[in-house]
Amino acid sequence: MQFTGTHILSIGQFESQDVERLFEVADRMEPYTKREKRTRVLDGAILGNLFFEPSTRTRVSFGCAFNLLGGHVRETTDIKASAISKGESLYDTARVISGYSDIIAMRHPVAGSVEEFSRASRVPVINAGDGPSEHPSQALLDLYTIRKELKITGPVENLRIAMVGDLKYGRTVHSLSKLLSLYRNIHFTLVSPKELSMPGEIVDQLLAAGHTVCQTDNMQQGLQNNDTVYLTRIQEERFANQQEADIYRGRFRLNQSIYTQHCKPNTVIMHPLPRDSRAEANELDNDLNQHPSLAIFRQTDNGVLIRMALFALTLGVAEEVEKHTEEVHWYTDKRFRKLPPMTGDQ
């Protein structure tokens, strides 16, 4: 794909060579995220960061990624505080905000809304999550993490992955499945309550691409013999009422003892976060916090690299980044040392 000037709306736009190109640029961003160097390649550029749904890491990491390239961030975070609450259409909002920005990252609760918005935008738009539909930058950072954790240097092959939880409404697993389907011989184990299973069209797409898919509501079985286990939160905001979400909360949990009993040693543990740490849910227990295979915070760190690469490519400066490099003058030493154990950890 020609990245420059292109909206990034869906994983369907990517071919495997585009992913390789993106990952190669992401690798080059590491000195900047580690604060070994800084770059001003996007000095003067403005990111319109529009988040019409709750977000912590996606919103902040898009913003930080843009800042780390030297650009400025303008943020709108609350649908009630924006003119959309006065009845403004996505078309009008897009016309306006794209006049103020060089690029836009947008999250919205309605499937297809970011694509609709992009049609009226005069600058590239990156989908940061459109309802239950897609979350392409998350899938890219997830695959990047899988490769790093499993020390795979090229395209993944023969990967065994279990996806667990709310596979019906979880946009991260939708995008990640579509992304993995570009590769060869992936074995998917899809663990969910029957009512929250992966949409049929995505399963069909995986099968048509020659992958194997096992669907089950038995977590213990599903955890066996994987390279990676990818847990998800029950997407309570997508249910008609909370009582319905309560039925499923806490049904599938991973903790130290379940991991030791049922997972192959060194199975990589992933979660897009936020994990629901309330006692009634707790799909990924704190007792795994010190486990070396827990990749969740390496996933979030990798998100900045991937988003920097997406900005650099869509704004056509991927080869200019190093030319605008400077020294870092402030104290940075401690940030990248191993984190001390969290209070209450085993």
Return residues touching ligand NCD (CB under 6 A).
57-58, 129, 135, 138, 171-172, 233, 235, 272-273
* The token pair that represents 211 in the structure block: 């992958």
CB closer to ligand NCD, 174 vs 262? 174
Of the two residues 309 and 317, which places its CB atom closer to ligand NCD in the complex? Answer: 309
Closer to ligand NCD by Cβ: residue 233 or 262: 233
Return phi, psi of residue 113, to 5°. Answer: -65, -35
We find the least distance from the C-beta atom of residue 135 to ligand NCD, in angstroms, to be 5
Which of 29, 306 has the CB closer to ligand NCD? 306
To ligand NCD, the closest distance from the beta carbon of 164 in angstroms equals 12
What is the CB neighbour count within 10 angstroms for residue 47?
A: 27
Angle between helices 57-68 and 296-314 in degrees, nearest 10: 50
DSSP H helices in the chain? 16-28, 30-33, 57-68, 90-100, 113-120, 136-149, 171-180, 200-208, 219-223, 242-248, 256-262, 296-314
What is the rounded CA–CA span in Å between residue 12 and residue 17? 13
| Tokens linked to 250 | 């806490």
Write the DSSP assignment of 244-309 as a string of letters: HHHHHTTSS-B-HHHHHHHSPTTPEEE--S----STTT-SB-GGGTT-TTB-HHHHHHHHHHHHHH
Least distance in Å: CB of 295 to ligand NCD? 14
CB of 171 to ligand NCD, least distance (A): 5
For residue 16, the tally of other CB atoms under 10 A from its CB is 14
Q: Which is nearer to ligand NCD, 308 or 318 (CB)?
A: 308
**How far apart, in whole angstroms, are the C-alpha atoms of residue 64 and residue 319?**
20
Rounded to a whole number of angstroms, the minimum distance from the CB of residue 320 to ligand NCD is: 29
Of 167 and 317, the one with the shorter C-beta distance to ligand NCD is 167
Report how far residue 16's alpha carbon sits from residue 183's, in angstroms, rounded to the nearest whole number: 8
| Nearest-approach distance from CB 108 to ligand NCD, in angstroms | 11
Which CB atom, from 56 or from 220, has the smaller least distance to ligand NCD? 56
- Minimum distance of ligand NCD from residue 165's CB (angstroms): 9
CB closer to ligand NCD out of 71 and 132: 132
Q: How far is the CB of 321 from ligand NCD (least distance, A)?
A: 25
Nearer CB in complex with ligand NCD: 237/320: 237
Radius of gyration of the chain (CA): 20
Residues listed for the chain: 346
- 246 token code pair: 């309560």
Q: Least distance from C-beta 161 to ligand NCD, angstroms?
A: 17
How many angstroms separate the CA atoms of 345 and 282, rounded?
15
Helix orientation angle between 136-149 and 57-68, rounded to the nearest 10 degrees: 80
